[in-house]
Structure 1
């Protein structure tokens, strides 16, 4: 567990009790650090989480995702059109060491979503390879096993005859 990032986040708070005279960034860091719990895996858990398992904080009447706030406070701005990826695969984690700015495509590929799991498969459900000449792509961009497709078509033809 890396305490350095947590120290950087909380070091801004110690200046004055009551958060008087601190700038906006320090107030935000103080608000976040006040509610963080560090679990056994090194993940920082912030207060309660939403239905999607993301922690949120209200800033000037806007609801912000806490993992994005801690990333910005420690690493700087998030590049345009990038997303914040949880390397620990815990959506409620806001540890900046567990967060990485990535493209949406890479973020999805690293996830456990249905499309990501299917993309990582190299064989069909019957064990045929999903590569080379044995793959055809549908109009929607999905991969299909040619061997299984041939069996399906033959079966359909036999039923129709």
Structure 2
């Protein structure tokens, strides 16, 4: 299991994070299958919890695994710590990641602004393009991709991104802010 787990992340040298490259949930937390199909113990677990279990030991009941780096993709056990749900909420509040004021008001979904009109546009954690912490491309790369006449697959290989991402860039579904 350890070998399989270690194939699913890459160390990021600047932050020290071990970035999960396999399946994730809707919040960006890694998902890792554990147990056996044969004996019926097979299930999907949250990758930071698996990391803690492998490298640090057992997680007590009703205990969360929290990130000191605030990066849901990170599975580096040195960036993880144990805490209660209350500790998690205090950590979240101390780091300015809770709903506040008008942002928490009850608004019909059809009236929620999107894109550049959305209240989080350009704020930390919601930065478009190369300002995003996980960006693989620069604005110059995007301009070069759009001008490139090769197939999406060929371009994707060169820039080490998926061909779907290249197609979205060319169609201005991604990196739309780059002219």
State the Cα distance separating 1:63 from its structure 2 match: 0.7
Q: Are 2:20 and 1:46 aligned?
A: yes
Matched-pair contact (CA < 8 Å) for 1:32–1:46? no
Q: How far apart, in 1, do the equivalents of 2:90 and 2:8 lie?
A: 31
Name the count of aligned residue pairs: 90
Q: Larger % of helix: which?
A: 1
State the Cα distance separating 1:57 from its structure 2 match: 0.9
Q: How far apart, in 1, do the equivalents of 2:81 and 2:98 lie?
A: 22
| Residue matched to 1:34 | 7
State the Cα distance separating 1:55 from its structure 2 match: 0.5
Residue 83 (structure 2) aligned to one of 102, 107, 113: 102
Q: How far apart, in 1, do the equivalents of 2:84 and 2:59 lie?
A: 11
Structure 1 length as normaliser, TM-score?
0.52
User: Structure 2: where are the runs of 5+ without partners?
Assistant: 36-41, 102-179
Q: Larger % of strand: which?
A: 1
Structure 2 length as normaliser, TM-score?
0.47
Structure number with larger C-alpha Rg = 1
| Residue matched to 1:133 | none
State the Cα distance separating 1:113 from its structure 2 match: 3.5
Residue 51 (structure 2) aligned to one of 54, 70, 74: 70
Q: How far apart, in 2, do the equivalents of 1:73 and 1:32 lie?
A: 9
Q: Which runs of 4+ in 1 moved over 3 A?
A: none
Q: Are 2:98 and 1:114 aligned?
A: yes
State the Cα distance separating 1:96 from its structure 2 match: 0.3
Q: How far apart, in 2, do the equivalents of 1:96 and 1:89 lie?
A: 13
Q: Are 2:54 and 1:81 aligned?
A: no
Superposed CA RMSD in Å reads 1.7
Residue 57 (structure 1) aligned to one of 28, 32, 39: 32
